[in-house]
Amino acid sequence: MFDIIHVIIYLLLAGALALSVILARKFRAGALNILFVSYAFGVFFLALSQLFDYLVGNGTYVLADVSFHLWLHLIMYCSLLAFIWGGYRVKKSIDSVQAASSSGLSGTDKTVFASLTILAGAFFVLPPILEPAFSVSLPGSAIDLFGLHHFLVFVGAFVVGWYLFRIKGSWGLLGQGIAFMVAFLVLIGGLHLWEVVTESQSLQLFDLPETIVEGVELFFLLPAVLAFIVGQWRIFKFVR
């Protein structure tokens, strides 16, 4: 059952990425271009995190549980940083008289997204190299005991949601699309809060079987991706 849901999520992530790329191409200038490019990179890195999860599951990587979660969350940080950068850039430019006439991505924007892509790629190359050291040093560390890697994603998701919530009221239909994006981020943040209280050693509130923990994670992830797609689709229908 879980395998089927995972396949559905992979397909939805591919659709979400395609919609974001199409919308970024529709809005070739101004803050909207930056916003949808950040969406595209954010969902791309989220998809990479799911790919990493799959590769660990099928034995491509042999990692200690804490190492696996650390690398997975490092890829997720790339996703959140892409969303954060987009929210920051839009918030900064929305009241600027130059926002509408801007050519879109600046050199700094391109550097940020290229750097995040290189980082995400490195997180696929480094695990086998660093696992001998990580398998010894990470168990029992603060990361393992308190689930700091989960907590940072939880906080980051709500920070990005707050940025987008601040600007959504100014943009009509696009604001409605942003509302779905905020819902997506809240659900992603909730997923990682759930991981804090079920998987960290010192902050664990619920000692549940792994199947239940994973099932609830999918309960967060599936509607999160659906919310992302619905928001993008509403805008796509308006501008196509």
Which tens digit of pLDDT belongs to each residue from 177-228?
778 888 998 999 899 888 888 877 777 777 778 788 888 888 899 999 999 9
Above 60 in pLDDT, residue 97?
no
Mean per-residue pLDDT of the chain: 84
For residue 44, what are the CA distances in angstroms to 10, 48, 73, 82, 91?
Answer: 11, 6, 14, 10, 22
Helix 172-199 and helix 148-168, axial crossing angle in degrees, nearest 10: 160
Contact 94, 167 (CB under 8 A): yes
Tally of domains in the chain: 1
Q: For residues 77 and 153, what is the distance between their CA atoms, to the nearest angstrom?
A: 7
| pLDDT at residue number 100 | 47
- Classify 96 as helix, strand or coil: coil
| pLDDT at residue number 99 | 47
Helix 30-57 and helix 107-137, axial crossing angle in degrees, nearest 10: 20
Q: What percent of the chain has pLDDT over 90?
A: 38
Q: For residues 98 and 177, what is the distance between their CA atoms, to the nearest angstrom?
A: 23
Higher pLDDT, 9 or 104: 9
Most confident residue range from 88-97, 102-111, 199-208:
102-111
Contact 64, 134 (CB under 8 A): yes
Contact 158, 151 (CB under 8 A): no
Q: With bands split at pLDDT 50, 70 and 90, how would you rate the model's confidence at 103?
A: low
Q: Which residues contact 119 (CB under 8 A, 6 or more apart)?
A: 74, 78
Q: What percent of the chain has pLDDT over 70?
A: 89
Above 70 in pLDDT, residue 80?
yes
Higher pLDDT, 29 or 109: 109
CB atoms within 10 A of CB 2: 11
Q: With bands split at pLDDT 50, 70 and 90, how would you rate the model's confidence at 170?
A: low
Above 60 in pLDDT, residue 98?
no
| pLDDT at residue number 177 | 74
Q: With bands split at pLDDT 50, 70 and 90, how would you rate the model's confidence at 139?
A: confident
Q: Which of 45-54, 69-78, 211-220 has the lowest mean pLDDT?
A: 211-220
Domain encompassing residue 234 = 2-239
